[in-house]
Structure 1
Amino acid sequence: MSVLVPIDDSDPAMKAVEHAAETYAGDTVTLLHIINPRAGMYGDEALYAYESILESKQQAAADLFDRASELAAEHDCSVQTESIIGFPARDIVSVATDEDIDHIIIGSHGRTGASRVLLGSVAEQVVRRAPCPVTVVR
């Protein structure tokens, strides 16, 4: 079974990794991190500092993968890692489709009300668009 776990630097993402590792112990799980280089960049900063900001985000992704891999290893689950530049919800679904993923396990912050409407929910968008079953972990 091919399992995809999109991760960011949040507690719900690490809970999703742990859930996947427990559920698919002995299997290989793919951890996916989407680097959105425009997130947190405004105005001229986006134009002049793109390369250094991208490099910083790639290093942060490597550290994130190390942390998640250690967590998965505690449950005898091996991981593959993939990091791409893009937009989280759209590219999670694209990877799942392109790589013929059987199951996605994703963390959710559990936002409700106005914050959910204003900020959107990557997990909700993935659930609506994914080509396979999705488990949402809070």
Structure 2
Amino acid sequence: MGTTVLVPVDGSSQSDDALAEAFELFPDARVVVLHVVQVTRIPSDPEVSPYELARAEGEAILEEARELAAANGRAVETELVEGNAPRTIVEAIDDHDADHVVMGSTGRSGLSRVVLGSVAEAVTRRSPVSVTIVR
């Protein structure tokens, strides 16, 4: 079987750049685009649960990734999973038998990086495969 590349996306321009970079670096690879659902804000509509909002936003992010792939003449597999982002991404490496991870850097610095950490940094430390971080 050929190379499999995992590309976690969060809707940022860095994750879009990471997907484009994955296409360039691995032109013949199977590409799996992953979005990890994390509830990070309360919806303005009390009828919508925070989880439903996060899932809907995740589906929209994955649809954008599929459109970017199509614009590059590529097809991708997509997956929406709930969980802690770094842990879930590392688990997805095994689940998809990925050979490489390409992901964006959110560019946090200073106190927010110390307090919140960096998903890319945590994945890089825990990953059993090589990780390319795109800025």
How high is the TM-score relative to the length of structure 1? 0.85
Alpha-carbon distance between aligned partners in 2 of 1:114 and 1:17, rounded to the nearest angstrom: 28
Q: Any gaps of 5 or more consecutive residues in structure 1?
A: none
CA offset digits 1:80-131 (Å, max 9, x no partner): 0001110100110011123221000010022223221122100000000001
Alpha-carbon distance between aligned partners in 2 of 1:91 and 1:14, rounded to the nearest angstrom: 19
Name 2:16's counterpart in structure 1: 14
CA offset digits 1:42-100 (Å, max 9, x no partner): xxx9xxx7x72222222211211111111122222210000111010011001112322
Q: RMSD of the TM alignment (CA)?
A: 2.0
Name 2:67's counterpart in structure 1: 70
User: Which among 101, 119, 127 is matched to residue 124 of structure 2?
Assistant: 127
Q: Which has the higher helix share?
A: 1
Task: State whether structure 2 residue 27 is matched by structure 1 residue 25.
Answer: yes
Name 2:41's counterpart in structure 1: 40
User: Which among 91, 94, 97 is matched to residue 97 of structure 1?
Assistant: 94
- Aligned-pair identity (%): 40
Q: How many residues align?
A: 131
Q: Any gaps of 5 or more consecutive residues in structure 2?
A: none
